[in-house]
Amino acid sequence: MSQLRQFIRQQFGVPENDPDFNDNVDLFNYGYIDSFGAVELTNFMENKFTMRIADSDWAAFPLNTIEEISNFISKRQKGEI
């Protein structure tokens, strides 16, 4: 989860002292990531965690928070989804 959090902070310019940024904030509704950012995030996850993420995964699974994304990565790596 920390690698994911660090990537989002760096890639999308989230200040260290941002009081709203946490593992459960909706990254899209709060404006941290937009649709172009979702593509960057997908590329990061695929490369960093050696997995394939289909467009349908974004609709089929909750992937709005760092915690949700982290859970998805963990389950995908274990072959549970």
Q: What CATH number should be reported for the domain holding residue 15? A: 1.10.1200.10
Query: pTM of the full predicted structure?
Result: 0.92
List the chain pLDDT tens, one digit each, 81 residues: 899 999 999 999 999 999 999 999 999 999 999 999 999 999 999 999 999 999 999 999 999 999 999 999 999 999 999
Predicted local confidence at residue 7, as pLDDT: 97
Supply the range of the domain harboring residue 25. Answer: 2-78
What's the gap between Cα 81 and its chain centre? 16
Number of domains composing the chain: 1
For residue 64, the tally of other CB atoms under 10 A from its CB is 17
Instruction: Give the ranges where the chain is alpha helix by DSSP (H).
Output: 2-11, 35-49, 55-60, 66-78
Q: Which pLDDT belongs to residue 1?
A: 87
